[in-house]
């Protein structure tokens, strides 16, 4: 791949290895504090994989933001901004936010119908048995392998392009530090590292935004950006956009991209254990709030980043500071996701390149940590515990979970190498992913939301969706372009056809087959997943026996104020779980909020702007940029300030315990 290197190779190794191991050291410290001063020990399997189902909504929202922020969220969103103008970031963000909002419905249903599951595949196994379980394990792991390898593909392309670091070294070294810190900390500590990654991400996005729209000598204001985009449209008009303009929502290819994004994002959220794991880790009463907040906060990341760097790449292409000057970017560079790194370098020189490298590394590692622990849970609970050793002890489960994190780190690196060797880039993989997994989206979602779905419906929906997606994709590529190659199969129309066919056939077949031969089902079956045996006094009985609890407490610290607060919250959570009707209100909120927000983001705002063929005036563009800034600030408040505010009491108690050695409750 063509590369232009503003940074020395040592910076590449420094960021990839140095920051990775810095976070591993931070994780050691966090795990020590957690084991010493909280009720939750990282040495127990339940805590390692589910964070004891006790995480508050701000931290869950921050974890959702960080898991859903891929390398592509920064790179591909900037690519579509570079290719389609303002409509690209809009559709990237709107097309991939709605799935997180919709997932709030599933999060609530998990708490109501399977409150003690570790993975969504346990629900499939309990409802539909072994064959369907294996089919959905296939779709789940396919989703994880696509997402994980795509992270490394995009991340390594940029590291190599900016520093000249060997691409294969980058692919293997990026996950190394992440594996170490996930093994050390488990899910809860991963949330805390995710939080710090999100904080850095937000600061750097704001750094780029203020540079491009306020201080930079080459652009420096929304009106200067507007004028530069107008000039760019005269030299390089956008095909399919109204008058070739970069500042219009009337963009045919951006709309097509938005539809692909909607389909593919549905697969990569609904079939990725990482998002179920965040729902499972949530406190039952706040899971819905966490997903709505997480979705709204995430929207600002691709929207703010690409409205800045993607458009800056268009505006600065003819500037001597642009790395490819006097040429434009080649198609290979665009598809590899290099418009954002080139724009950062053109805007801010070496500082911009370093900031871009760091923000990208944060995105890749925080999402990789979510993928590692998600896959480790599937391999541990759905394969090892279900089929290899059903009587496994918690110690054996946690050992397997640790080993599987290493195994998956290796798998993701090997698959990313394969993509590199056969010439698959980020852009191709991004458009094709959804059609491979889309068939299983509705069958998986219905497994927890619709008691009318049958085993035959789930199985036939997923498999026929996959077949339909593959056929529609390949036939359309052949019909339109006369041959099947990496280039023709990565074009907009074939990938659109494949994505739509997979998801719609999956939906229609699962509903039709289930309704054709209904089978009775009661959610009590799934509510029993991992339920404690009767007659044993546990916190879930609603009456915590303090002595028993202290004996079981692996940290032996139950007289600490921090621990007493945690126990009180656990009692409240157990009551909510025992009485699922209490979650009905949350379910209503999830349905109303997610449908209204989806309707606004994907229809009421963009479609009239598309149909009216409106080209932004300078004033409208300025307002657009102001809204972008406001959204990024709100997102920072949700994902950075809210978790701090929620845990202020815990940190106050912790301070007293650590500094004053206090051990009695208030
Ligand atoms: N997570 C995404 N689709 O950027």
Atom of ligand 1 minimally distant from the CA of 302: 4
pLDDT of residue 534: 67
pLDDT of residue 664: 46
* SS3 annotation, 354-418: HHHHHHHHHHHHHHHHHHHHHHHHHHHHHHHHHHHCCCCCHHHHHHHHHHHHHHHHHHHHHHHHH
Atom of ligand 1 minimally distant from the CA of 77: 4
Say how far apart CA 196 and CA 208 lie, in whole Å.
Answer: 19
Of 59-63, 445-449, 599-603, least confident by mean pLDDT is 59-63
- Asked whether the predicted pLDDT for residue 300 surpasses 60, the reply is yes
Atom of ligand 1 minimally distant from the CA of 73: 4
SS3 call for 485: coil
pLDDT of residue 1: 46
- Asked whether the predicted pLDDT for residue 542 surpasses 50, the reply is no
Of 8-22, 115-129, 257-271, least confident by mean pLDDT is 8-22
Q: Residue 327 has what DSSP assignment? A: S
Q: Which of 66, 73, 300 to mutate to test the pocket of ligand 1 (most atoms within 8 A of CB)?
A: 73
Higher pLDDT, 186 or 630: 630
- Asked whether the predicted pLDDT for residue 420 surpasses 60, the reply is yes
Q: How many Å lie between the centroid of ligand 1 and the Cα of residue 271?
A: 14
Q: Which of 72, 79, 257, 366 to mutate to test the pocket of ligand 1 (most atoms within 8 A of CB)?
A: 72
Q: Is 408 in the pocket of ligand 1 (CB under 6 A)?
A: no
**How does pLDDT run across 361-407, given as a tens digit for each residue?**
889 988 999 999 999 999 999 999 999 999 999 889 989 999 999 99
Q: Which pair of tokens denotes residue 141?
A: 């792991």
Q: How many Å lie between the centroid of ligand 1 and the Cα of residue 303?
A: 11
Span 108-126, mean pLDDT? 93
What confidence tier does 640 reach under pLDDT thresholds 50, 70, 90? very high
Of 144-148, 192-196, 349-353, least confident by mean pLDDT is 192-196
- Asked whether the predicted pLDDT for residue 642 surpasses 80, the reply is yes
Higher pLDDT, 140 or 31: 140
**How does pLDDT run across 11-70, given as a tens digit for each residue?**
899 988 888 888 888 877 877 777 777 767 767 777 776 777 778 888 889 989 988 999
Q: How many Å lie between the centroid of ligand 1 and the Cα of residue 70?
A: 6
What confidence tier does 541 reach under pLDDT thresholds 50, 70, 90? very low
- Asked whether the predicted pLDDT for residue 623 surpasses 90, the reply is yes
Q: Is 576 in the pocket of ligand 1 (CB under 6 A)?
A: no
Q: Which of 81, 263, 302 to mutate to test the pocket of ligand 1 (most atoms within 8 A of CB)?
A: 302
**How does pLDDT run across 308-336, given as a tens digit for each residue?**
999 999 999 999 999 999 999 999 999 88
Atom of ligand 1 minimally distant from the CA of 69: 1
pLDDT of residue 161: 87
Q: Which pair of tokens denotes residue 548?
A: 């028993």
Q: How many Å lie between the centroid of ligand 1 and the Cα of residue 73?
A: 5
Q: How many Å lie between the centroid of ligand 1 and the Cα of residue 621?
A: 25
- First vs last Cα of the chain: how many Å apart? 62
Q: How many Å lie between the centroid of ligand 1 and the Cα of residue 248?
A: 23
SS3 call for 329: coil
Helices 222-235 and 287-316 pack at an angle, to 10 degrees, of: 60
Q: How many Å lie between the centroid of ligand 1 and the Cα of residue 102?
A: 15
- Asked whether the predicted pLDDT for residue 171 surpasses 90, the reply is yes
Q: How many Å lie between the centroid of ligand 1 and the Cα of residue 139?
A: 18
* SS3 annotation, 539-598: HHHCCCCHHHHHHHCCCCCCCCHHHHHHHHHHHHHHHHHHCHHHHHHHHHHHHHHHHHHH
Q: Which pair of tokens denotes residue 318?
A: 């003819």
**How does pLDDT run across 270-295, given as a tens digit for each residue?**
999 999 998 888 877 788 999 999 99
Q: Is 68 in the pocket of ligand 1 (CB under 6 A)?
A: yes
pLDDT of residue 193: 80
Span 136-156, mean pLDDT? 95
Beta partners for residue 251, in sequence order: 241
Q: Which pair of tokens denotes residue 289?
A: 């709030």
What is the rounded radius of gyration, in angstroms, for the C-alpha atoms of the chain?
Answer: 24
Span 535-564, mean pLDDT? 51
pLDDT of residue 244: 97
Q: How many Å lie between the centroid of ligand 1 and the Cα of residue 81?
A: 15
pLDDT of residue 15: 87
Instruction: Give, in degrees to the nearest 5, the angle at Cα 506 between 408 and 144.
Output: 10
Say how far apart CA 357 and CA 361 lie, in whole Å.
Answer: 6
Whether 63 and 643 have beta carbons less than 8 Å apart is answered as: no
Q: Is 295 in the pocket of ligand 1 (CB under 6 A)?
A: no
Say how far apart CA 646 and CA 643 lie, in whole Å.
Answer: 5
Say how far apart CA 270 and CA 330 lie, in whole Å.
Answer: 35
Q: How many Å lie between the centroid of ligand 1 and the Cα of residue 627?
A: 21
Q: Is 266 in the pocket of ligand 1 (CB under 6 A)?
A: no
**Residue 641, C-beta contacts closer than 8 angstroms, at least 6 positions apart:** none
Q: Is 99 in the pocket of ligand 1 (CB under 6 A)?
A: no
Q: Is 139 in the pocket of ligand 1 (CB under 6 A)?
A: no
Look at residues 184, 158, 135 and name the one whose alpha carbon lies nearest to residue 26.
Answer: 184
pLDDT of residue 2: 46
Question: Percentage of the chain surpassing pLDDT 90?
Answer: 69
Please report the DSSP string for 187-212 in residue order.
HHHHHHHHHHHHHHHHHHHHHHHHII
**How does pLDDT run across 467-503, given as a tens digit for each residue?**
999 999 999 999 999 999 999 999 999 999 999 999 9
Q: How many Å lie between the centroid of ligand 1 and the Cα of residue 259?
A: 14
Span 453-480, mean pLDDT? 97
pLDDT of residue 665: 44
pLDDT of residue 545: 42
pLDDT of residue 323: 93
pLDDT of residue 6: 79
Look at residues 102, 225, 115, 130 and name the one whose alpha carbon lies nearest to residue 599.
Answer: 102
Protein residue whose Cα sits closest to atom 1 of ligand 1: 68
- ipTM reported for the complex surpasses 0.90: yes
Say how far apart CA 95 and CA 168 lie, in whole Å.
Answer: 32
- Asked whether the predicted pLDDT for residue 580 surpasses 70, the reply is no
What confidence tier does 546 reach under pLDDT thresholds 50, 70, 90? very low
Protein residue whose Cα sits closest to atom 4 of ligand 1: 73
pLDDT of residue 662: 61
Distances 337 to 127, 209, 331, 423 between C-alpha atoms, Å: 42, 19, 10, 14
Mean pLDDT, rounded, of the chain: 89
Q: Is 60 in the pocket of ligand 1 (CB under 6 A)?
A: no
Q: Is 76 in the pocket of ligand 1 (CB under 6 A)?
A: no
Say how far apart CA 496 and CA 260 lie, in whole Å.
Answer: 6
- Asked whether the predicted pLDDT for residue 548 surpasses 90, the reply is no
Say how far apart CA 66 and CA 387 lie, in whole Å.
Answer: 32
Q: Which pair of tokens denotes residue 391?
A: 């009587």
Protein residue whose Cα sits closest to atom 2 of ligand 1: 73
Look at residues 174, 191, 337 and name the one whose alpha carbon lies nearest to residue 277.
Answer: 191
Helices 273-281 and 87-113 pack at an angle, to 10 degrees, of: 50
SS3 call for 665: coil
Of 9-23, 136-150, 250-264, 369-383, least confident by mean pLDDT is 9-23
Q: How many Å lie between the centroid of ligand 1 and the Cα of residue 92?
A: 8
Q: Is 409 in the pocket of ligand 1 (CB under 6 A)?
A: no
Q: Is 64 in the pocket of ligand 1 (CB under 6 A)?
A: no
Atom of ligand 1 minimally distant from the CA of 68: 1
Question: Percentage of the chain surpassing pLDDT 70?
Answer: 89
């Amino acid at each position: 791949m063509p590369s232009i290197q503003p940074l020395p190779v040592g910076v590449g190794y420094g960021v990839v290895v140095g920051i990775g191991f810095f976070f591993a050291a931070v994780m050691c410290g966090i795990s020590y504090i957690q084991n010493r001063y909280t009720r939750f020990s990282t040495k127990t399997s339940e805590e390692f994989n589910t964070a004891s189902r006790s995480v508050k909504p701000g931290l869950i929202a921050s974890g959702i933001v960080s898991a859903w922020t891929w390398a592509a969220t920064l790179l591909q969103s900037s690519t579509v901004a570079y290719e389609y103008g303002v409509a690209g970031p809009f559709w990237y963000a709107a097309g991939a936010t709605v799935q997180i909002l919709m997932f709030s419905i599933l999060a609530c249903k998990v708490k109501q119908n399977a409150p003690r599951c570790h993975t969504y595949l346990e629900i499939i196994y309990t409802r539909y048995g072994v064959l369907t379980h294996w089919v959905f394990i296939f779709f789940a792991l396919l989703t994880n392998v696509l997402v994980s390898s795509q992270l490394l593909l995009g991340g390594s392309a940029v590291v190599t392009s900016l520093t000249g670091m060997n691409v294969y070294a980058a692919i293997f070294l990026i996950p190394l530090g992440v594996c170490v810190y996930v093994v050390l900390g488990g899910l809860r500590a991963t949330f805390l590292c995710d939080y710090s990654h999100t904080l850095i991400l937000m600061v750097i996005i704001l750094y780029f935004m203020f540079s491009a729209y306020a201080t930079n000598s080459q652009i420096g204001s929304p009106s200067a950006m507007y004028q530069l985009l107008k000039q760019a449209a005269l030299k390089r008009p956008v095909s399919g956009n109204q008058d070739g303009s970069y500042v219009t929502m009337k963009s045919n290819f951006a709309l097509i991209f938005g539809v692909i994004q909607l389909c593919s994002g549905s697969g990569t959220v609904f079939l990725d254990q990482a998002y179920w794991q965040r729902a499972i880790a949530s406190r039952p009463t706040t899971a819905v709030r966490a997903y709505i907040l997480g979705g709204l906060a995430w929207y600002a990341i691709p929207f703010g980043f690409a409205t800045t760097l993607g458009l800056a790449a268009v505006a600065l292409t003819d500037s001597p500071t642009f790395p490819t000057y006097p040429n434009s970017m080649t198609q290979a560079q665009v598809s590899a996701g290099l418009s954002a790194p080139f724009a950062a370098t053109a805007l801010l020189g070496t500082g911009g390149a370093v900031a871009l490298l760091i923000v990208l590394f944060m995105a890749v590692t925080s999402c990789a940590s979510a993928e590692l622990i998600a896959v480790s849970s599937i391999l541990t609970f759905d394969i090892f515990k279900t089929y290899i050793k059903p009587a496994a002890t918690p110690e054996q489960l946690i050992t397997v979970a640790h080993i599987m994190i290493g195994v998956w780190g290796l798998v993701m690196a090997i698959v990313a190498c394969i993509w590199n060797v056969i010439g698959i880039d980020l852009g191709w993989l991004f458009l094709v992913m959804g059609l491979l997994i889309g068939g299983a989206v509705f069958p998986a979602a219905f497994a927890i939301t619709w008691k009318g779905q049958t085993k035959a419906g789930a199985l036939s929906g997923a498999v026929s969706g996959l077949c339909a997606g593959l056929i529609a994709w390949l036939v359309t590529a052949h019909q339109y372009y006369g041959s099947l190659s990496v280039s023709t199969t990565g074009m907009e129309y074939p990938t659109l056809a494949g994505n739509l066919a997979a998801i719609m056939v999956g939906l229609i077949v699962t509903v039709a087959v289930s309704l054709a031969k209904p089978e009775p089902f009661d959610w009590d079956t799934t509510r029993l997943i991992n339920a404690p045996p009767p007659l044993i006094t546990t916190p879930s009985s609603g009456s915590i026996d303090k002595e028993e609890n202290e004996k079981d407490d692996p940290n032996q610290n139950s007289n600490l104020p921090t621990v007493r607060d945690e126990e009180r919250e656990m009692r409240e959570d157990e009551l909510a779980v025992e009485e699922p009707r209490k979650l009905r209100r949350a379910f209503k909120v999830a349905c109303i909020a997610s449908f209204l927000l989806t309707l606004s983001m994907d229809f009421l705002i963009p479609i009239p702007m598309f149909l009216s063929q409106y080209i932004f005036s300078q004033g409208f563009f300025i307002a657009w940029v102001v809204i972008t800034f406001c959204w990024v600030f709100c997102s920072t408040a949700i994902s950075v300030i809210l978790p701090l505010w929620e845990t202020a009491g815990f940190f106050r108690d912790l301070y007293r315990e650590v500094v004053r050695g206090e051990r009695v409750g208030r």
